[in-house]
Amino acid sequence: MDPFKILRNAVLLILFGLVVTACATKKSTTAPSKIDSQIQGDVYIGSDTVGELAKGVPDRVFFATNESILTTKSRDTLRKQAAWLRENSNVNVVVEGHADERGTREYNLALGERRANAAKDYLMTYGISADRISVISYGKERPVDPGSNPLSWSKNRRSVTVKAN
């Protein structure tokens, strides 16, 4: 067989593959996905899992992966909680710390505790006595979203303030 014919056929085959691949590639021109609108960085900013400590007072704040640093939105939420707690001085709360499913049980329990303590410490800076705030970590044991994807993980990285019994 002629070597030029083999080379020509190989080049034609490669070009055909490129054309087919280019035609099959779809460029996204759609609006941001549901996930994109609910996550900023990797912190959940949606509202579908947020409850209320009291009317108009969100009960939870969200964290980045492996972090216990409060975001601006988290600090805003905790200021609302502190204002409500100052008005309701007979109410004690428990701050629950949570993590996503990734990592060991021990690591996530420690991370959940750091998150709960970050929220507690912030509430204390707004005049809420430490005696009124208990902390507990559930680590990854109580996910609010059982999925195994970035959106689910972002919803599960949280601290939740609940009224103590």
Q: Which of 23-32, 57-66, 144-153 has the lowest mean pLDDT?
A: 23-32
Q: Which domain holds residue 102?
A: 30-163
Q: Is the dihedral of CA 86, 88, 93, 98 positive or negative?
A: negative
Q: Which of 2-16, 41-55, 62-76, 97-111 has the lowest mean pLDDT?
A: 2-16
17 occurs within a structural domain: no
129 occurs within a structural domain: yes
Task: Report how far residue 134's alpha carbon sits from residue 136's, in angstroms, rounded to the nearest whole number.
Answer: 7
Q: The domain spanning residue 86 has which CATH number?
A: 3.30.1330.60
Task: Look over the chain and give the mean of its residue pLDDT values, rounded to a whole number.
Answer: 87
| Count helices and strands in the chain by DSSP H and E runs | 5, 8
- Structural domain count, the chain: 1
Closest CA to 66 of 119, 140, 5: 140
pTM value?
0.77
pLDDT band at 109 (very low <50, low <70, confident <90, very high): very high
Q: Going along 24-132, which residue ranges are E strands?
A: 39-40, 43-44, 52-54, 57-58, 60-62, 93-98
10 occurs within a structural domain: no
Task: Report how far residue 112's alpha carbon sits from residue 161's, in angstroms, rounded to the nearest whole number.
Answer: 13
The residue-averaged pLDDT of 22-36 equals 46
The residue-averaged pLDDT of 37-61 equals 89
Residue 155 has pLDDT above 70, yes or no: yes
12 occurs within a structural domain: no
Count of alpha carbons within 13 Å of 2, Cβ hemisphere only? Answer: 4
20 occurs within a structural domain: no
